Structure 1
Amino acid sequence: MRNTLAPLATTLTVQSLVSMAVVTVPVLAPAAAPETGVPASYAGIFIALVYGAGMTASLVSGPLVQRFGAIRVSQACLVACALGLACIASGSLPLFIVSALLLGAGYGPVTPASSHILAKSTPPERMALIFSLKQTGVPIGGALAGALIPTLVLWSGWRMSALLVAVACMITVIFTQPFRKALDSDRDPAKPLVVASLAGPLRYTLGNRDLRRLALCSFFFAALQLSLVSFLVTHLTLNTGLTLVHAGLMLMAAQVGGAVARVIWGALSDRWGRPTSVLGFMAIAMGAAAVAAGCFTAQWPLALIALVSVAFGGTAIGWNGVYLAQVARLAPPGKAGDATGGALAFTYAGVLFGPPIFTLLVGWGTGYGVAYMLVAIPSVVCGLWLLGHARSAAEHKEKELGPMEND
């Protein structure tokens, strides 16, 4: 199935709704806090539980996709997210924990499932662009939650707002059903779901040197990305004197920069044909942008802060599409879901541990500015590592092709 429009539209829609479901909870938190007695600041713990569950779920996604099909797994993810939001609407603290686990179970397998679909429906020369377009579903979902949920809360209350997003997830389940026959045609109902097969994703990732390199780098990229999203507003308000509104606009600029840059980086990677080099340059650029952000002071003009924020978002948020496309390329035939699940375990680990490490750095007295500079170092090292590998691979290829060209 070479037509990529239907698979792209389907996976983008699912990705957007699942991302919106996850972001809905921290957006609702301030409105729910007075009634539930749970401080809004606890949303950080909730998100950590979500990504912890998502990391585990991504590992089991490969065998599930092979047995039930990527669309069916995507539908199950949407149902899990809907149930998780219903638990939030209950207002019960124990069910909040269940909600985080359900949302994580819904979030984790979505990317491996969509990678499985897109890997078989996308021409190789367009893979990075298509994967990057699909990954814009993450910031789109976050933007939808930020734009719609506050209005829904004013209109119907926080409980009904959670339920309305749950209904949207269930409507998307119905929307995806007509595509199931075509997109799940390669499923194997006899695929065993045993412990050995569930370890497959990590086995593929750790057993392939190139996949292992990308996965390890993604840990540090994701850690820096979440440090940007989690602490930029606080850094700006404390250290530059910006109001909360202006600091929020800088974060929005970073998010928009990331969404647009994902498409640009994907197109560049396809055109140049060197995705590892593109990731290497992005890693160095995101490190440089983090250092620049760490230097923010009250003397910086607002326009320059905005420019650095866009550059920070364009690199630290914009890398995912090129990364996932390259993981799918390196995967054995029909194993894109397994390889993506294994690689994402490292990525989610970066999401899970990055913000707490940043918090520890700040708590040890470094300050937000120095903390940004410190978390930039691993990304720059990874960038140099990727560029060095890409150069060595290119030189090796030239040596192999040399005699053929002389002939």
Structure 2
Amino acid sequence: MARPLRRWRGKGKNERRHWSDAIFNLYLALGAMTVQQTFATLGRSTVPLIAAAIVADLGVDPALVGVYVAIGAVAGFLTTMGCGGLILRYGAMRMTQVGMLALAVGLALPASGWLPLFALGAFVGGLGQAISTPSSSHLLGRLSPPRLAPLVFSIKQTGVPAGLMVAGVVAPVLATDVGWRTALLVIAGLSALTAVALQPLRARFDVDRVPGTSLSPADIRANVALVLREPALRAMCLAMFSFVGLQSLFTGFFVLYLVRGLGYDLERAGLVFAIAVAVAVPARIGWGWLAARLVRPATLLSLLGVGMAVSAVLAAIIDPAWPTWLATLVAILFSATAVSWHGVLLAEVARLSPAGRIGATTGAVLAFGDAGALALPLLFSAALTLTGGYATGFLVGGAFALAIGLAGLWRRIGRGA
């Protein structure tokens, strides 16, 4: 039975055994959730990263990439709003497995090349992928000591840049060598295998599930009311909206920007993207360590918001004449800010959540992130259609992050923090 990690004060044999079990369970859960987060991110980001090949093959408007991302965001919104009761009823590990299987289906559907199946695949995959973070937050929030939660959550969230890094290298290579349809099927198979690999851990970690938990729309309303009623959680909701929205622009459009806007070939653009998101792995751990040791999480998130805005401006002014290494530096800064904040914010949400409701509260906050992932890509696509360029879209996304960062710093100054 998985036990929460607690401070060992005694020297008895039983206390040492319990301490050892708690550490083992924490490390095992952290490892499993980091791996599944990696493959969930790999699956979610594959279509946008090979969009240039899909657009060229099917002869469709590149702005439809924003529609694909937005459909996934709508599905993710529905999942995160209603996942709290599902996690409590069936267990965090089981819902993670269900999510990975749905993601596999969502990736396989578009391989036909029929546009309506792209839409359906985006929706099904979005439903599945979105359960990953609330489930892992529920599990790790139960097992982690509060003092180390920012670091633990940040380590788990390194699965996002790791998945993006793998996707940035593997997906374009597969699309170039064997075609984008085969690339989608390969990544779909990896998602399904991840769900199967998690099965041996279910009995160990789903011990807190409550089979009789009701699944009611009233629970969704209660969760949303909770996060909007509490000022600190409300601030996390607004930050989640803006930060996830800007991250969606980077992961959904940056490679397309390099290829269609700046003239890069797909493999070079994928390599630039992979190098950038590789930096997010140590960045996430570093931000988590700072939040756990030196800087208040809310203050750090505000500073990162300002950094994201600067990154977005730099991305908007990249010139085709710039050397590749300079464009890569801009991408690295973008990644170190807009793709590296999650662990700090999720740990803060877990800290602010009512006892036993971490998954439900995290889901409600994440729903605002899905709203951002819906709204900002649509704004980006609109700007792309109206202006024919990518700069305006990045500047709009940066403005949201800047507003959150400056507002947070103003609150901190007002409180003397």
- Pairwise mapping of residues 361-376 of structure 1 onto structure 2 (< 5 A)? 361-365=383-387, 368-369=390-391, 371-376=393-398
For 1:242 and 1:374, the matched residues in 2 are separated by 24
* 2:170 counterpart of 1:148: yes
Native 8 Å contact 1:128 1:326 kept in 2: yes
Aligned match of 2:288: 266
Instruction: Give the letter aligned to residue 320 of structure 1.
Output: H
**C-alpha distance in 1, partners of 2:121/2:257?**
30
Within 5 Å, give how 1:133-172 maps onto structure 2: 133-152=155-174, 159-172=181-194
1:155–1:286 Cα change, 3 Å: closer
Residues 24 and 149, structure 1, Cα contact 8 Å, conserved in 2: yes
Runs (5+) with no aligned partner, structure 1: 396-407
Alignment of 1:284-363 (within 5 A): 284-297=306-319, 303-363=325-385
Equivalent-residue separation in structure 2 for 1:236 and 1:170 (angstroms): 31
Q: How far is the alpha carbon of 1:103 from its aligned partner?
A: 0.4
2:200 maps to 178
Q: Which moved more, 1:198-207 or 1:161-170?
A: 161-170
Which of 383, 403, 407 is equivalent to 2:405? 383
Q: Is the 8 A contact 2:162 2:277 kept in 1?
A: no
Q: How does 1:8-407 map to 2 (within 5 A)?
A: 8-27=30-49, 37=58, 39=60, 41=62, 42-90=64-112, 93-152=115-174, 159-233=181-255, 248-297=270-319, 303-365=325-387, 368-369=390-391, 371-392=393-414
Contact 1:30/1:40 (CA < 8 Å) preserved in 2?
no
**Deviation (angstroms), 1:95:** 3.7
1:314 aligns to what SS in structure 2?
helix
**Match of residue 399 from structure 1:** none
Of 77-86 and 240-249, deviating more is 240-249
Q: Is the 8 A contact 2:52 2:266 kept in 1?
A: no
Mapped contact 2:104–2:188 kept (Cα < 8 A): yes
Q: Following TM superposition, by how much is the alpha carbon of 1:149 offset from its aligned partner in structure 2, in angstroms?
A: 3.8
Gaps of 5+ in 2: 6-22
* Contact kept in structure 2, 1:52 and 1:348, CA below 8 Å: yes
CA 280–88 in structure 1, closer or farther in 2 if over 3 Å, else same: same
Q: Percent identity?
A: 34
Task: Name the aligned partner's letter for residue 16 of structure 1.
Answer: T
* TM-score normalised to structure 2 length: 0.83
| CA apart distance, 1:270 | 0.8
Q: Distance in 2 between the 1:278 and 1:319 partners?
A: 9
Amino acid at match of 1:22: R
- Measured at CA, do residues 90 and 10 of structure 1 come closer, stay the same or move farther in structure 2, by a change above 3 Å? same
Give, as a single letter, the amino acid of the residue that structure 2 aligns with 1:146.
G
Tell me how far apart the structure 2 counterparts of residues 371 and 214 of structure 1 sit (CA, whole Å): 24
Q: What is the CA-CA distance between 1:136 and the residue it aligns to?
A: 1.9
TM-superposed CA distance for 1:219, in Å, is 1.3
SS at match of 1:186: coil
Which range moves more in the overlay, 251-260 or 13-22?
Answer: 251-260
1:302 offset after TM fit, Å?
Answer: 5.1
In structure 2, relative to structure 1, the CA distance for the partners of 1:40 and 1:263 (3 Å cut) is: farther
Query: What is the Cα deviation at residue 87 of structure 1?
Result: 2.7
Deviates more, 1:6-15 or 1:146-155: 146-155
The Cα RMSD (Å) is: 3.1
